[in-house]
Amino acid sequence: MTPTDDLAEALRELDGLSGVNIMAAPTQSQIVAPAIVLRPDSPWSTPSDGGAYCFDHQRYVAVVVASSVSSVDGMRRIYRIWQMIIANLPAGWRFDTVDGLVLDETTGTAFLATQVHLSYFNNDALEES
């Protein structure tokens, strides 16, 4: 298991995210909005920094996607989703930042998306996967 597998499982248990597809990347499944896709950020991992006691500081992104019948409705949906993420992070996780919204219409359907940047502080020298 990876940290994103554990985070995905914790998020799936939240009533406020029922109906949201939650997956850890890489995924071969089609992403169906609303969705949260958890993937490594860059840099993915660095030695412990900022006074945090851990083996390494890992960075991840929760990409939040919502269909956009109207940009206001899509923005509100994304806002509620990322608020649920940061309010319910398990131990070892920290919220860092949220990027601005991006509108994508390349598939013919309008989608809004944002990236929620997260940190995970690994306390084990070797994690089993």
Express as a percent the part of the chain with pLDDT over 70. Answer: 89
Q: How confident is the model at residue 51 (pLDDT cuts 50, 70, 90)?
A: low
Of 45-49, 101-105, 106-110, highest mean pLDDT: 101-105
Asked whether residue 113 carries a pLDDT value surpassing 90, the answer given is yes
In whole numbers, what is the pLDDT of the chain averaged over residues?
Answer: 87
User: Is pTM, for the whole model, over 0.75?
Assistant: yes
Q: Please, what sign has the CA dihedral across residues 65, 68, 71, 75? A: negative
Asked whether residue 123 carries a pLDDT value surpassing 80, the answer given is no
Strands (E), 25-124: 35-47, 56-67, 93-98, 102-104, 111-122
In one-letter notation, the amino acid at residue 15 is D
- Model pLDDT, residue 81: 97
- Model pLDDT, residue 100: 94
Under 8 Å between Cβ of 118 and 96: yes
Alpha helices in the chain (DSSP H): 3-12, 71-87
Distance CA 79, CA 77 (A): 5
Residues 66-94, mean pLDDT to the nearest whole number:
92
C-alpha dihedral, 6 to 7 to 12 to 15, nearest 10°? 130
- Say whether domain 3-122 belongs to CATH 2.40.10.480: no
Asked whether residue 83 carries a pLDDT value surpassing 70, the answer given is yes
Please, what's the b/e burial string for 55-93 (b: 16 or more CB within 10 A of its CB; e: otherwise)? ebbbbbbbbbbbebeeeeebbebbebbbebbeeebeeeb
Residues 54-74, mean pLDDT to the nearest whole number:
86
